[in-house]
A = this chain, B = another copy of it.
Amino acid sequence: MSWHGRGPHGPRGYHHGNLKEALVRAALELIAQKGPAGFTFADAARFAGVSPAAPYRHYRDRDALLADVAKRGFDEFAATLTKAWNDGRPDVLAAFDRLGKAYLDFAKQEPAYYSAMFEAGIPADTDAQLREAGERAFSVLRGAAEKLVALLPAQGRPPALMVALHIWSMAHGIASLFGRGDAARRTLPMPPEELLEAAFLVYLRGLGLSEDVGAGR
Contact = CB atoms under 8 A, between A and B. Distances in A.
A116 to B, nearest CB: 12
A184 B35 contact: no
Number of copies: 2
A177 B169 contact: yes
A86 B45 CA distance: 54
A138 B186 CA distance: 11
The number of chain A residues touching the other chain, given as a range, is 35 or more
A136 interface: no
A93 to B, nearest CB: 14
A177 to B, nearest CB: 6
A171 interface: yes
Interface string A19-49: 0000000000000000111000000000000
A50 interface: no
A203 B177 CA distance: 19
A7 interface: no
Given A37-B37, A173-B176, A165 B195 contact: yes
A185 B37 contact: no
A186 to B, nearest CB: 7
A54 interface: no
A132 B186 CA distance: 11
A95 interface: no
